Structure 1
Amino acid sequence: MTESNKVWQGRLSGGSAKEVDVFNSSISFDYVLFEEDIQGSQAHARMLGKQAIISTEDASLIVEGLESILMDLKTGALLFDPTAEDIHMFVESELTERIGEAGKRLHTGRSRNDQVALDLRLYVKKKITEISQQLLEFEAVLTRKAEQHLYTIMPGYTHMQIAQPVTFAHHLMAYAQMIKRDCKRLEEVVEHTDAMPLGNGALAGTTYPLDRQYVAEQLGFGSVTANSLDGVSDRDFVIDAAYALSMVMMHLSRLSEEVITWCSQEFKFVKLDDAFATGSSIMPQKKNPDVAELVRGKTGRAYGNLQTLLTMMKGIPLAYNKDMQEDKEALFDSISTVKLALSAMIPMIDTMEAQTGRMREAASKGFINATDCADYLTKKGVPFREAYNVIGTLVQTCIETDQTLEEVSLETYQSLHELFEEDIYEAIDLENCVTKRNIEGGPAPEAVKKQIDQLKNSLDLPVD
C-alpha cells in the first residue's frame, strides 16, 4: 500500500514504517465484510443522491461501480489486495479506479468509524440468523430422535452416579430445551444489533442533511442509533453475540461429553455412525468419537473470544479507539466455530443409534428405584425421613447379599417395616417408576410427548 493510498496521510509528514503498516492492517481478516461494506456503501450513495448532497448521476455511477466490484469479488475475477489497509479502503480505492472522480464522493458525510459499525451490525445480523436456522434444525433432530425413544428406559445420573430412571427421550429433550433458549438469546442479539449507525460520522455526526431513516430502511434496520458517540463506540452487540455463541458451545460441549461417555465400552449406550468417528493410527480396534471431542475442545475458543472482547472494551473511553479493531477476529472466530460445530454435530446426533437393551440393563442396577421404594412407604403415611432411613438399611442389606430391590423377599421387606405388601414389586418396577412420573416436565412418556409437541409447535413442525 503506497503512502498516497492512505486517506489519512495528509496530516502526517513522512511515511509510516513498514512494520506499522503490517501491524495496522486488518484486510487479512476484515475482508469477510466485503458484501456488507458494499451493501452499506450503495445505500449511503443512494441517500446522498436523494438528498442532493452529490449528483444523482454520481450516485448511480457509484452504485453500479460497487455492484461490479461485488460481482467480481464473488466470482474471483477481483482478488483482495493484501497490502490494503482494510476492506473499506480497498473497496473505495477500487471504486475510484473504476469510475474516476465520482468514486471519491462516496465517503461524503461518512467516517470509517460509522462505516465499520454498520458493516459489523449487518454481518452479525446475517450470521446470527444463519446460526439460528442451524439451531432450529438441531431442535428438529433432537425432537425426532426423542419421539423414537419415548419408552426407552435409561439411568438418570447425579454426580455421575446412577440416581433415578428416565427415558432417552426425556434426556434428549433436556438438550432441546437448552437449544431453544439459545435460539431466544440469538433473537435478542439480532434485536440489540438492529440499529443503524451510519450518520454518526467519526463521533459527532455531520453537517450534511443525511436521511438516516432512508438508509436504515434500505438496509433492513428497525431503527437508527440514538447517540452519535455511542453509535460508533458501541460493541455491546458484538459481546452479546459472543456470549450467546459461548452458551451454544457450552450446550454442545455438554452433549458431546455425554456422547463420549455413552460410546465407551463401559457404557455402550449409543453407537455412532462410522461417518462420524475415526480410527487409531496404531490400535485397529478403536472407534473414536472425534467429532464430539473436537466440539468439546473448541468450546474454549468461544470462551476465550468472549473474554477478549470484554477485556478489550473495559477501559476504552469514548469514542472510537483502535483497540476496537480487535473485535473482528474474536467475533469471526466464534461465529465460524459455532457454525462448523453445528454442521458436524447435527448429522452425528441424527445418525446416532441408541443401544436400548444396554440402557435398560444399566437402569436395572444401582438401586435406581430406591426413591420409589421410599415413596411407597410415604404414600402409606410414613414420614419421608423415616422411610428414607428404612430404604437405606434395605439397600445396605441388598449390597451385603448381592441382591437388587426387585430380588429381595417380601419377608425381608416386612422385617424392616410392616406396611410393605406384595404391591411393593409393582411400585419399584422400572417402567412404572417412569410412567408414574407424569408430572408436567417429567420423564413419563405422556409428559415427554407433550414436551415434544410443544417444541414442534414452536418449530412449525407437524404434531402427531
Structure 2
Amino acid sequence: MTKPAMLWGGRFRHPPAPELMRLSRADASFFRLTLYDVDACQTHARELERAGLLQPDERAAICEALAGIAKDHADGKVSPIATDEDVHTFIERLLVERLGALGGKLRAGRSRNDQAANDLKLYLRDGARRLAEEILGLQEALLAQAGRHVETVAPGFTHLQPAQPVSFAHQLLAHAQTLWRDVERLRDWDRRAATSPLGAAALAGSAIALRADLSAAELGYDAPCENSIDAVGSRDHVAEFVFVAAMANVHLSRLAEELFLWSSRQFGWIELHDSYATGSSIMPQKKNADIAELARGRAARLIGDLATTLTMLKGLPFAYNRDLSEDKRAAFDALDSMLVILPPMAGMVATMTVRVDRLLAQSTDGFTLATEVADWLSRRGVPFAEAHEITGALVQACEARGIGLQDLTAADLAAVDPRLEASLMRALTPQAAIAARSGPGGTAPERVREQMARLEARMAEQRAWAQAYTGPRHLPARDARA
C-alpha cells in the first residue's frame, strides 16, 4: 500500500482536515511540471554532492531513480495520487518508495518556494520557444501568400471605408510584422526570465546550496537571481509572459476579423479551403470561418488571464504567499490557448484562395484614386489645401454622374478646373497609385519585395533563437504535434 507523503507537518499535533487538503492540493494541470521538477531535482542532487551532503554513489542513485520516475511518468506508468499535494510531494513519494531513506535526503537545502518558482519558469522558457515556433508558422503562411500577390491590386481601408489601392501582399505583411514583434517580445521576455530561483530556498537563501551559479547553468539559465526574496516572491515574469501571449492573440483576432470580411459574400476576396472551414447544422449552403471566430474568442480569455495575474500580484507582501499558486492557471491557459489556435490559423491562411479579379475590381471603388489627383496637382505647384478642394469637387462631379475617376475625359477634368490636364489620367490607375508609393515602408512592389526579404532574414534569427535553447525541453516539438 502506498504510504501518503507530506513535505510539512512536523510541528502539528493533528493531521490536516480533508477540506483543507482539497483546497490545498494542486490542480491536476499543475502536474504537467513533473519533468521540469525532475530536471531540477537532478541538478539539486549534484548541488548536494558539492555541499558534501551526498556521496557520489548516493547522488548517482538518486539521479538514476529520478530518471526512472521521469520515464515512468512519461509512459503513463506512474501518476499522482490523492495524497500527493503537489508535484514536489509526488516526486518525493516515488523517490522514497524506490530508494528508502536516501530519497528523503534530496529535500535538504531547498524549499517548495524556490522549486515552484523554478518549475514554472523552466516551463515558460520552454513554452516561449514553442509559442515562437507556432507564430513563425503563421508568419510563413502569410509570407507564402504575400509572395504570390506582390503585384495583386487590392483596396486598402481606413475606418473600414475604401481609402487607397495597395498591394495585397502589403496588406498580408502588415499582419506578419505584428507577429514578428510578438516573437521579439518573447525573446526580450526571456532575457529577463533567464535567472534561476534555485538556491533562494524559502526566502533567505540556502545555507547548503551555495553554488546556485552552477545549478543555474545546468538548467540553461544565464545566472541565479540577485535577490532570494525577489526570486520566490515575484511573478512579474509570469504576468509579462501572459501579456505577450494576450497581445499575440489580439493580433490573431485582428487578422481573424479581416479573414471574416474577406471571405464574406459581400467582399468575396478569398475562398477558404474546405478543410479549414465549417458548416451549419441547419443551413446546408453555409461555409464559416470558425477557426477565426474561435481565435477571436480566445483573445477575450487571454485578456482575462492577464487581469487575473496582475490582480493576484497587487498588494502581495514579499516573500512567498500561496496566492501565487494561481500563476500556473493563467500561464497554462495562455500557452495552451495559443498552441491550439496558431496551427489551424496558419493552415487557413496557407490554403485560402485569393480572388485576384474581385480585388482588382474593388480596388477603385469609393474613389480610392482621389489622393492621386491631389498629389498630381501638388507636384505641379498647387498648394495641397487647394488641391484637396479641387479633388473634392471632382469627386462630387463623378458622384453626380455615377462614374469613377478613371472614367473621366479630358473635357470632364477641364470643366472642374483648367489645371486638371489630360495627362492626369495616367496617374488614375490602381497600378500607378501603388507604384508611386515607393518610399520606405510603402506599398510599391519593389518595396514590398524588400520588406519580405528583410522579414525572412529576421524570422531566420528568431528560429535560430528558438532552436538554440539549452534548458529542459519537454513540450512536443512543432513537427511532432498531433
| TM band (smaller chain) | over 0.9
Aligned to 1:212: 212
Aligned to 1:252: 252
Which deviations, in whole Å up to 9, do the C-alpha atoms of 1:345-383 show, x marking residues without a partner?
A: 111111111111111111121100001111111111111
Return the alpha-carbon distance in structure 2 between the equivalents of residues 439 and 19 of structure 1.
67
Return the alpha-carbon distance in structure 1 between the equivalents of residues 333 and 444 of structure 2.
41
Aligned to 2:150: 150
Alignment of 1:30-69 (within 5 A): 30-69=30-69
Structure 2 stretches lacking a partner, 5+ long: 462-482
Letter in 2 for 1:12: F
Aligned to 2:203: 203
Q: Greater CA deviation, 415-424 or 288-297? A: 415-424
1:12 Cα offset (Å) = 2.2
Which deviations, in whole Å up to 9, do the C-alpha atoms of 1:208-259 show, x marking residues without a partner?
A: 2521111112111111101110011111111110011011101111000100
**SS state at 1:10 partner:** coil
Aligned to 2:362: 362
Which deviations, in whole Å up to 9, do the C-alpha atoms of 1:254-291 show, x marking residues without a partner?
A: 00010011111000111111001001000010000000
Which deviations, in whole Å up to 9, do the C-alpha atoms of 1:409-437 show, x marking residues without a partner?
A: 22221122111111111111111001111
Q: Given that residues 27 and 82 in structure 1 are in contact (C-alpha distance below 8 angstroms), is that contact kept between their aligned partners in structure 2?
A: no
**SS state at 1:220 partner:** coil
Q: Given that residues 96 and 103 in structure 2 are in contact (C-alpha distance below 8 angstroms), is that contact kept between their aligned partners in structure 1?
A: yes
Return the alpha-carbon distance in structure 2 between the equivalents of residues 30 and 196 of structure 1.
20
Q: Given that residues 28 and 82 in structure 1 are in contact (C-alpha distance below 8 angstroms), is that contact kept between their aligned partners in structure 2?
A: no
1:310 Cα offset (Å) = 0.3
Which structure carries more relative contact order (alpha carbon 8 Å, separation 6+)? Answer: 2
Return the alpha-carbon distance in structure 1 between the equivalents of residues 411 and 81 of structure 2.
86
Alignment of 1:383-394 (within 5 A): 383-394=383-394
Aligned to 1:349: 349
Letter in 1 for 2:435: T
Q: Given that residues 156 and 165 in structure 1 are in contact (C-alpha distance below 8 angstroms), is that contact kept between their aligned partners in structure 2?
A: yes
Letter in 2 for 1:285: Q
Return the alpha-carbon distance in structure 2 between the equivalents of residues 322 and 182 of structure 1.
31
Aligned to 1:23: 23
Letter in 2 for 1:231: A
Which deviations, in whole Å up to 9, do the C-alpha atoms of 1:23-55 show, x marking residues without a partner?
A: 111141210101100000000001211321222
Q: Given that residues 4 and 84 in structure 2 are in contact (C-alpha distance below 8 angstroms), is that contact kept between their aligned partners in structure 1?
A: no
Q: Given that residues 138 and 346 in structure 2 are in contact (C-alpha distance below 8 angstroms), is that contact kept between their aligned partners in structure 1?
A: yes
Q: Given that residues 197 and 232 in structure 1 are in contact (C-alpha distance below 8 angstroms), is that contact kept between their aligned partners in structure 2?
A: yes
Q: Given that residues 196 and 225 in structure 1 are in contact (C-alpha distance below 8 angstroms), is that contact kept between their aligned partners in structure 2?
A: yes
Q: Greater CA deviation, 310-319 or 141-150? A: 141-150
Distance 1:4 1:271, change over 3 A: closer
Return the alpha-carbon distance in structure 1 between the equivalents of residues 180 and 27 of structure 2.
36
Aligned to 1:455: 455
Please tell me whether residue 311 in structure 1 is matched to residue 311 in structure 2. yes
Alignment of 1:187-336 (within 5 A): 187-208=187-208, 210-336=210-336
Aligned to 1:436: 436
Superposition RMSD in Å? 1.5
Letter in 2 for 1:198: L
Letter in 2 for 1:215: S
Aligned to 1:376: 376
Percent identity reads 38
1:79 Cα offset (Å) = 2.1
1:4 Cα offset (Å) = 5.9
1:13 Cα offset (Å) = 2.6
Letter in 1 for 2:162: I
